[in-house]
Amino acid sequence: MFFLYFREDLRIEATHFLENAFLLIVKMLEMEVEIEEDTSELVDELLHSIFFLGRLTYQFFLPERIFEGSDLLDDLMSNYPNAFELYMSHVPRRSPFSCVLDMIVHLIGQENVELIKEELGQLSSTLVQNDNSKILNSTMVCISWAESVRYYGVSMSTHHKPGRQIVIAASCLNFWDDCVADAVMTYCPQKKKKKYFDGTIRLPAEVRCEAFNIRERRSMPPCVSCSDLFGLQTTETENKSPYGNCAEAESLSKLFKNENVKERVQRSDNWNKQDRTRAEQDVLRHLKQVLKNNQHFEWNNKEINFYIPHARLDSEEDEDFNM
């Protein structure tokens, strides 16, 4: 009886996943045509990340199912063939909503903080929620800055544990700035602080971080995890968020990659490269194990391939034509 209930529950959840995937993809395509520069890489990355999570979570998932009843499929398959071919063999480096966030920031402009929050709030409220799990949806946005340019991040839009573990590990190994990755790897993949490695950081005084609940449209204090990782002051006492799940990781990573503030980041006194490599190996080993346990993921059991997005194929043809 429980099994039957569980199957039905999962089927409903999968339907919501397909609906939300379709909404996000359509939204991305609409935004992409409005932006003058070529942002099609973000569409490619979104597609792959959604397909990967769909396949990981629901064994009957096929990308085609997202597009049933619409005529988008053929165009997308010919413009973004890699996303359709590599979603079972390549790991996404970030979660889907993060690609959507980047497109929104491109469209609206990083300086328009309130408009970006508003857009995120509207988009988030159109997505279907399944009980308490926010499928392909982020709860939080974080805005980080040192001078005038604002950098944005969202919390992981992965609603099941293996998906979240995989994307956090992939972001640590292949996407985030090393300061952020070090802080997260101090805990990840376990919840406890590693005895041999402390990569937690303290931010320079000029760096600001503001977290905002997208759906409830209100400011939030940093959580205990973010306080542990980045030294953010908080009034929270209960640790509810997995390390690396929060929006702060992404916005700070972008800030560190783009602004000259990293030399003023305080690292722990006993940080060293050797221990960092060991922590990285630990994250990698765990990632491989999680992937190995997932029968839908196809790989050679050796190297992990991370998905590198590409611009839409016909946009490259356009460029050739213009030459």
Contacts with Zn ion by CB under 5 A lie at 223, 225-226, 241, 246
Residue whose CB is less far from Zn ion, 165 or 241: 241
Nearest to 313 by CA among 84, 73, 78, 85: 78
**Could you give the maximum distance between any two Cα atoms of the chain, in Å?**
65
Residue whose CB is less far from Zn ion, 92 or 153: 153
Question: Please, what is the minimum distance in Å from the beta carbon of residue 22 to Zn ion?
Answer: 30
- Give the residue at shortest CB distance from Zn ion: 246
Question: Please, what is the minimum distance in Å from the beta carbon of residue 179 to Zn ion?
Answer: 16
Residue whose CB is less far from Zn ion, 87 or 243: 243
Helices (H) and strands (E) in the chain, counts: 13, 6
Torsion sign, CA atoms 174, 179, 183, 185: positive
Residue whose CB is less far from Zn ion, 55 or 159: 159
| Tokens at 212, concatenated | 């905002």
- Name residue 218's beta-bridge partners: 213
Question: Please, what is the minimum distance in Å from the beta carbon of residue 89 to Zn ion?
Answer: 32
Pairwise CA distance, residues 61 & 57, whole Å? 8
The CB-side HSE value for 249 (13 A sphere, CA atoms) comes to 32
Question: Please, what is the minimum distance in Å from the beta carbon of residue 261 to Zn ion?
Answer: 20
- Radius of gyration for the chain, computed over Cα atoms and rounded to the nearest angstrom: 20
Question: Please, what is the minimum distance in Å from the beta carbon of residue 248 to Zn ion?
Answer: 5
Pairwise CA distance, residues 252 & 50, whole Å? 24
Residue whose CB is less far from Zn ion, 14 or 246: 246
Question: Please, what is the minimum distance in Å from the beta carbon of residue 64 to Zn ion?
Answer: 36
- Whether the CB-CB separation of 255 and 176 falls below 8 Å is answered with no
Residue whose CB is less far from Zn ion, 78 or 190: 190
